[in-house]
Amino acid sequence: MKNKIIDLHNITVAFDGEKVLDGIDLSIEDGQFVTLLGPSGCGKTTTLRIIGGFISPDSGDVFFDGKRINDLPAYKRQVSTIFQRYALFPHLNVYDNIAFGLRVQKVPKNEIAERVAEVIKMVNLSGFEKRKIDSLSGGQQQRVAIARAIVTRPKVLLLDEPLAALDLKLRKDMQVELKNIQRQLGITFIFVTHDQEEALSMSDVVVVMDGGKIQQIGTPEDIYNEPVNAFVADFIGESNIVDGIMIEDNLVKFAGQKIRCVDKGFGKNEPVDVVIRPEDIDVVSPNESPLSGLVTAVTFKGVHFEAIVDVDNFKWMIQTTDMIKEGQEIGLLLNPDDMHVMRKSEYSGMFGDYSSFSDEMDYISDPDYVEDEESEEVAEAEE
């Protein structure tokens, strides 16, 4: 068991009477890549800022390496932050930006030069030392921000949506690079994002948040395959979520059918939510499966087709590599491990039905959406 580097106990924060964090309990083990994932306004950035020391919680305790640090100011904490807009010092060049933290700590000059050179190499910025910040591209600024944050050798690195402002390709590259840097340094990364794909591909542990509460903590596989409620199932990937009744262990009834599944431990005849991922559904001819319906829309997505299928007025989303056409009658075949059964929650009935399927579902993976969100924040700040 590794030691807990960060421990949050029952953290509550309210801004202007509105609860932003509501009883957050979170333990983070040393050396892990942890992602706080959630929609905007879920409290993920606030959680990060509490760890960084920029916000103090209204109630609850923050522990760092076993010591309570609620009252420790930000400049005394052994954490570094990479800010969303990088927050590089515009009056300093690349070298001086990176050296800033070491100079403040009065590290000897030759050691500063050594350590700065080391991190500059690590983030591939050799030759840029004398460049002005405003002459750098977004990706280069990002690298300077990383170098500046890791040169002080923090025990924990906090990353506040650091990739949000980059274009898609650069973003993918930086995901890999950040992961490499984390492995190389062996320190804890706490990464905030609203991009579920980013969260799944980079993290050791994903913390899904919504409404100021932690919904689920787990490995990316756990979160994807075993979501605890409809919110998590819907936020991570695409999901069909249908009302069901757990007849007994390994047997669930939904859409008028009793179907074998692998879930157990529910009460007899307990109402449940059943999650079926669109890629797990096999397309067969209508007479081969008890579930069949009419294809109402097909979108070509490159690697597969995405289709909306109307089964007794409930619209399912399926993903298949088989050629299907609008207006076609198809059967949907489910294997026992294609289904995941969840207990009912406050989110039941809110997600997982594609009858109103439209562009609004796409915003989660739309990079432009962030821009809007940020400009709103800026507008608020300016008021």
Q: How far apart, in whole angstroms, are the C-alpha atoms of residue 137 and residue 70?
A: 37
Distances (CA, A) of 131 to 97, 123, 233: 11, 15, 46
Tell me if 189 sits within 8 A of 182, measured CB to CB. yes
Burial 195-215 (b: 16+ CB within 10 A, else e): bbebbbebbebbbbbbbbbbb
How far apart are CB 130 and other proteins at their closest, in Å?
A: 17
- Which DSSP symbol is given to 65? T
Residue 192 is a binding residue for other proteins (CB under 8 A): no
The yes or no reply on residue 32 touching other proteins (CB under 8 A) is no
- Residues within window 33-52 making contact with other proteins, judged by CB under 8 A: 52
CB of 125 to other proteins, least distance (A): 16
Judged by CB under 8 A, the stretch of 77-85, 114-122, 175-183, 243-251 that binds other proteins is: 77-85
Q: Decide whether 148 or 277 has the Cβ nearer to other proteins.
A: 148
- Given the complex with other proteins, which of 137 and 335 has the nearer CB atom? 137
By CB under 8 A, residue 369 contacts other proteins: no
> For residues 106 and 301, which CB has a smaller minimum distance to other proteins in the complex?
106
Q: What are phi and psi of 307, to 5 degrees?
A: -130, 145
Least distance to other proteins, CB of residue 66, Å: 21
- By CB under 8 A, what part of segment 149-188 binds other proteins? 149, 152
Q: Which of 358, 275, 339, 353 is nearest to 309 (CA)?
A: 353
**CB atoms inside a 10 Å sphere around CB 261:** 21
Which residue among 67, 76, 130, 301 contacts other proteins (CB under 8 A)? 76
Contact 316/362 with Cβ under 8 angstroms?
A: no
Q: Which of 54, 63, 357, 363 binds other proteins (CB under 8 A)?
A: 54
Rounded to whole angstroms, the Cα distance separating 22 from 246 reads 32
Residue 282's SS3 state is strand
C-beta separation of 161 from 192 below 8 A:
yes
Q: Which window, 6-14, 116-124, 145-153, 321-329, contacts other proteins (CB under 8 A)? A: 145-153
Q: For the chain, how many helices (H) and strands (E)?
A: 9, 20
Sign of CA dihedral 123, 129, 134, 137: negative
- Pick 355 or 375: Cβ nearer other proteins: 375
Q: Give least dist CB 164 to other proteins, A.
A: 13
140/219 with CB nearer other proteins = 140
Q: Which is nearer to other proteins, 123 or 259 (CB)?
A: 123
| Residues 83-142 interacting with other proteins (rule: CB under 8 A) | 83-85, 87-91, 100-101, 104-105, 133-138, 141
Does residue 262 interact with other proteins by CB under 8 A?
no
Q: Is 279 exposed, middle or buried (0-12, 13-18, 19+ CB in 10 A)?
A: middle
Least distance from C-beta 156 to other proteins, angstroms?
11
Nearer to other proteins, 26 or 99 (CB): 99
For residue 262, give Cα distances in angstroms to 105, 177, 192, 269, 291: 57, 38, 33, 16, 19
* Cβ-based neighbour number of residue 378 at 10 Å: 11
Residue 15 vs 89, nearer CB to other proteins: 89
**Residue 203 binds to other proteins (criterion: CB under 8 A):** no
Of 359 and 383, CB closest to other proteins = 383
Distance between CA 369 and CA 40 in Å, rounded? Answer: 10
Assess 331 for contact with other proteins (CB under 8 A).
Answer: no
Question: Per rule CB under 8 A, is residue 375 in the interface with other proteins?
Answer: no
Binding site for other proteins (CB under 8 A): 52-54, 73-76, 79-81, 83-85, 87-91, 100-101, 104-105, 133-138, 141, 148-149, 152, 381, 383
